[in-house]
């Protein structure tokens, strides 16, 4: 994260309140997001992992690793992560912003094989500044997984065609609530990471969300959809590969061929 213009206490309190709701659709999306991250993680070497911004559910609970490092500015999230990591000597939790922790991370002997920026890049005022700090801690073979909401999500396009929004780039209620600064489409996401010195290894979207979170919560509350429907919406992505509610890129530092071959 970047501390400029972010009220981290306000963000944390709203995050905790939202995820504490029994029928919060954000909790459903968090599970879908985690499934995609773990799928990506298992496709690459991940002995030494860095997670930037862990929220309430750090991913060290779900994967194997030799060392796991977290950088997180929120008091509440750091406290939660430390409670979950109790007794695990191979987990390092740094409280602060990525830009502040960058020099300390660069001094770690093992470096990182895999870096996770999940549901984060759209929330910072200056995405390029965050990516620059991530770039500095990358080795030549480090893979970075980045995911953000997709402005061309099915539910946004439907809202636009219904006349509920004037543009698919219009700020949503959720974006205003959680201080989200940037609305990414595929072109902007790819340009942003490439201009920050990365090359794209893969791109995709996931989870077809028919309606806005508030509407999805109402549908779930009335038992109109169940877990089978949610699973079906995950699998629907193969028919509409560009219309998932969120999108991701996996990237590496864009080095000259001679540098890559020499390690």
Number of domains in the chain: 1
pLDDT of 164 over the 70 cut:
yes
pLDDT at 3: 47
Rounded Cα gap, residues 100 and 96, in angstroms: 6
3-class DSSP state of 148: strand
The structure tokens listed for 57 are 């559910």
pLDDT of 24 over the 90 cut:
no
Whether residue 259 is contained in a domain is answered as no
pLDDT at 172: 73
Tell me how crowded residue 110 is: count the other CB atoms within 10 A of its CB. 11
pLDDT at 54: 94
Whether residue 2 is contained in a domain is answered as no
Instruction: Return all residues near 179 (Cβ < 8 A) that are at least 6 apart.
Output: 6, 7, 10, 11, 123
Mean pLDDT of the chain: 89
The residue with tokens 């979950």 is 84
Lowest-pLDDT range, 53-57, 60-64, 72-76, 172-176? 172-176
pLDDT at 2: 41
Over the stretch 63-89, which tens digit does the pLDDT of each residue have? 999 999 999 999 999 999 999 999 999
6 or 234: which leads in pLDDT: 234
Lowest-pLDDT range, 162-171, 221-230, 253-262? 253-262
> What percentage of the chain exceeds 70 in pLDDT?
85
Whether residue 12 is contained in a domain is answered as yes
pLDDT at 21: 53
59 or 256: which leads in pLDDT: 59
Over the stretch 188-242, which tens digit does the pLDDT of each residue have? 999 999 999 999 999 999 999 999 988 998 998 888 888 899 999 999 999 999 9
| DSSP per-residue letters across 213-231 | HHHHHHHHHTTSS-HHHHH
Whether residue 184 is contained in a domain is answered as yes
117 or 223: which leads in pLDDT: 117
**Burial label, 104 (beta-carbon count in 10 A; 0-12, 13-18, 19+):** middle
Q: What is the largest CA-CA distance in the chain?
A: 59
pLDDT of 143 over the 60 cut:
yes
CATH number for the domain harbouring residue 187: 3.40.50.150
Whether residue 263 is contained in a domain is answered as no
Residue 220 structural domain: 8-253
> What percentage of the chain exceeds 90 in pLDDT?
73
Whether residue 260 is contained in a domain is answered as no
Whether residue 261 is contained in a domain is answered as no
- The residue length of the chain stands at 263
Whether residue 207 is contained in a domain is answered as yes
Q: What is the dihedral of CA 172, 174, 180, 185, to 10 degrees?
A: -50
Rounded Cα gap, residues 249 and 247, in angstroms: 7
């Amino acid at each position: 994260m970047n501390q400029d213009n972010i009220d981290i206490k306000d963000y944390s309190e709203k995050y905790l309140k939202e995820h504490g709701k029994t029928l919060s659709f954000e909790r459903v999306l968090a599970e879908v997001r985690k499934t995609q991250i773990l799928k990506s993680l298992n496709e690459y070497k991940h002995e030494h992992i860095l997670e930037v911004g862990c929220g309430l559910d750090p991913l060290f609970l779900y994967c194997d690793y030799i060392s796991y490092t977290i950088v997180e500015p929120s008091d509440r999230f750091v406290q939660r992560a430390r409670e979950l990591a109790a007794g695990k000597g191979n987990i390092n939790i740094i409280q602060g912003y990525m830009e502040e922790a960058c020099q300390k991370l660069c001094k770690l002997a093992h470096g990182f094989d895999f870096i996770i920026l999940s549901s984060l890049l759209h929330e910072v005022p200056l995405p390029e500044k965050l990516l620059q700090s991530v770039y500095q801690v990358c080795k030549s073979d480090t893979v970075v997984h980045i995911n953000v909401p997709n402005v061309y999500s099915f539910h946004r396009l439907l809202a636009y065609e219904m006349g509920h929004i004037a543009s698919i780039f219009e700020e949503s209620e959720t974006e205003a609530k959680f201080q989200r600064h940037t609305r990414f489409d595929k072109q902007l996401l790819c340009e942003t990471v490439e201009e920050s010195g990365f090359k794209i290894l893969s791109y995709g979207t996931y989870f077809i969300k028919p309606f806005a979170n508030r509407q999805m919560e109402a549908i779930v509350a009335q038992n109109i959809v169940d877990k089978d429907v949610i699973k079906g919406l995950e699998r629907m992505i193969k028919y509409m590969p560009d219309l998932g509610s969120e999108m991701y890129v996996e990237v590496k530092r864009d080095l000259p061929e001679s540098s890559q071959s020499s390690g």
